[in-house]
Amino acid sequence: MDTNRIYKKDMNQVFSALKKLGMAVIGQGFDEKQRLVFKEVNSFQELALQEITPLQPVKSFLFPPTETMFSYQKTEKGTRLTPEQEAGASKKKILFGLRPCDVHAIEYIQKFYNGNFPDQPISHYIENTIVVGIACATPSNACFCTTMGISPVSSSGADIFLTPTDDFFLIEFLTEKGKSIQSAFAASLKASEANDGNWKQKIEQSTINSLLEKIDVEAIKGKVNQAYDKPFWKKYSDVCIACGGCTFDCPTCTCFDVRDVMESKSDGYRYRAWDSCSFASFTLHASGHNPRNSKLERLRQRIMHKYHYTVANMQTWSCTGCGRCIRVCPVGINTRSILKDIKEALHE
């Protein structure tokens, strides 16, 4: 695998070249109110890669918060369905500068939506997206990627991978998709130097030193459901306000609701929108019965899903340790504490 240097001062050339290829570049930057968000950028200066990762996850660019699936018209001859084709689905985009936690999340989303019944719109979005990962040098105090088995400098899942230094990035083109846009970078690529191989390790070490202690979750992998009836859940569900913040900001939360809207006696449409298992109506049956009627059951289910059910069904954790759930929780519920409580309850 070739590694080259690309200097930050040359990045604008790259961005113009990418634009000429018809690609939209999305990365983290500040909006007009100084909030850190993922947004479309036109120049390298608009990016703020030195900051922690935004609270908002990047999944909204792969799985829009709302989508009209089709519209219907009832006529004497029958009902006609007109599928909606999102113009945005075909637009080629580059997610520029995603940390390993977010890149792993995209890998998970891809695996999830390409299961037994491939989700066509989302597969379409992912097909047209190129992921440029970056080694993480600035974690937040809520990050726990190493706990979930992800290294802060892991390039797995990325099409192109960057390792940042003060003046330049080390760049690797890892997949066919990544190589397909190499031309945009070609003019600015410089040869790497002898000790460049050490940068990744340096960043990894420094980031790991900044992280809070790693929790050994391998010891409870496959056994988390044994904590189902333990008493510690109440401590969290008592104060949880079921706001849904953790699910909406989680890069691997994939649940959505599908509803129909009648616009008139004969016309209407079907849409899907992000939904949350924290909401009371999530499992509400048409009969009025709700199998998860209490906050405790819903909170426990969320943890079980991330740390047990996907392990059992898809052989993977669905948490990447990005820490957004901890950062957004208005009442200070900490997922790491829950993991520690599970370990303690299982005597691991």
Partner 1 sequence: MASNELVFLFLCRALKRKRLLQTIKQEFPSIRVIEVPCIGRFNPILAFKMITAGAKGVLLLGCDPGDCHYREGNLISERRILYAKETLTAFGIHGSRIQAIWYNPGKDKQILHDIKLFLSEIARLPMLTLKPTQKKEG
Partner 2 sequence: MINWSKITEATRHYLKSIFQPGDVILSYTESNTPGIMTPLVIREAEAIDKIILNPLCTQNLSVYLSEFFQQDIQSGNPAAGKWVVTVKPCDARSVIQMISDEQIAKDNLEMVVFDCDGTVTTKSLKNLLGGEIRSVKFEDHQAKGETLANKEVTADLVGSYQTKCSDSAICSLPDMHDYSFISESNRFVFHGSEKENALIQDTLSREDCFQRVSEELSKCIRCNACRNVCPACFCSDRCVMDKPKLAIPYITKEITLDQIFQYHLIRFYHVAPNCTACGECERACPQGISLSIFYRYLHRLNKQLFGAESGSSDSDKQKLLSYRFGEDLV
Report in angstroms how near the CB of residue 78 gets to partner 2 at its nearest: 20
Q: What angle do CA 9, 129, 185 make, to 5 degrees?
A: 30
Nearest to 346, CA basis, from 216, 234, 237: 216
Report in angstroms how near the CB of residue 64 gets to partner 1 at its nearest: 6
Residue 40 binds partner 1, judged by CB under 8 A: yes
Looking at the Cβ atoms of 125 and 168, the one nearer to partner 2 is: 125
In the Cβ-directed half-sphere of 176, how many Cα atoms lie within 13 Å? 1
Residue 12 binds partner 1, judged by CB under 8 A: no
Separation between Cα atoms, residue 99 and residue 143, nearest integer Å: 11
Residue 314 binds partner 2, judged by CB under 8 A: no
Distance from the Cα of residue 95 to its chain's centroid: 11
3-state DSSP percent of the chain in helix, strand and coil, to 5: 35, 20, 40
Q: Which of partner 2, partner 1, none sits in contact with 226, Cβ below 5 to 8 A by type?
A: none
CB atoms within 10 A of CB 34: 6
Stretch of 27-35, 102-110, 176-184, 216-224 lying at the interface with partner 2 (CB under 8 A): 27-35
Residue 56 binds partner 2, judged by CB under 8 A: yes
Residue type, 161: F
Total number of residues binding partner 2 (CB under 8 A)? 52
Distance from the Cα of residue 222 to its chain's centroid: 23
Say if residues 46 and 29 touch (Cβ distance below 8 Å): yes
Contacts with partner 2, 276-305, as mask; x by CB under 8 A: x--xxx--x---------------------
Among 3, 60, 165, 180, binds partner 1 (CB under 8 A): 60
Residue 86 binds partner 1, judged by CB under 8 A: yes
Among 37, 258, 261, 314, binds partner 1 (CB under 8 A): 37
Separation between Cα atoms, residue 223 and residue 219, nearest integer Å: 8
Strand positions, DSSP E, the chain: 4-7, 24-30, 36-41, 66-75, 78-83, 93-98, 129-134, 160-164, 168-173, 189-191, 256-262, 267-274
Q: Which of partner 1, partner 2, none sits in contact with 274, Cβ below 5 to 8 A by type?
A: partner 2
Residue 99 binds partner 2, judged by CB under 8 A: no
Separation between Cα atoms, residue 152 and residue 104, nearest integer Å: 11
E strand or H helix at 112: helix 100-113
Residue 268 binds partner 1, judged by CB under 8 A: no
SS3 319: coil
Residue 72 binds partner 2, judged by CB under 8 A: no
Residue 39 binds partner 1, judged by CB under 8 A: yes
Say if residues 189 and 172 touch (Cβ distance below 8 Å): no
Q: Which of partner 1, partner 2, none sits in contact with 40, Cβ below 5 to 8 A by type?
A: partner 1
Looking at the Cβ atoms of 37 and 280, the one nearer to partner 1 is: 37
Among 212, 226, 283, 301, binds partner 2 (CB under 8 A): 212
Say if residues 299 and 279 touch (Cβ distance below 8 Å): no
Residue 149 binds partner 1, judged by CB under 8 A: no
Say if residues 34 and 19 touch (Cβ distance below 8 Å): no
**Residues found near partner 1 in the complex (CB under 8 A):** 26, 37-40, 60-61, 64-66, 68, 86, 88
Residues that bind partner 2 (CB under 8 A): 32-33, 35, 52, 55-56, 60, 65-66, 68, 139-142, 210-212, 235, 238-239, 241-245, 247-249, 257, 259, 261-262, 271, 273-276, 279-281, 284, 326-334, 336-337
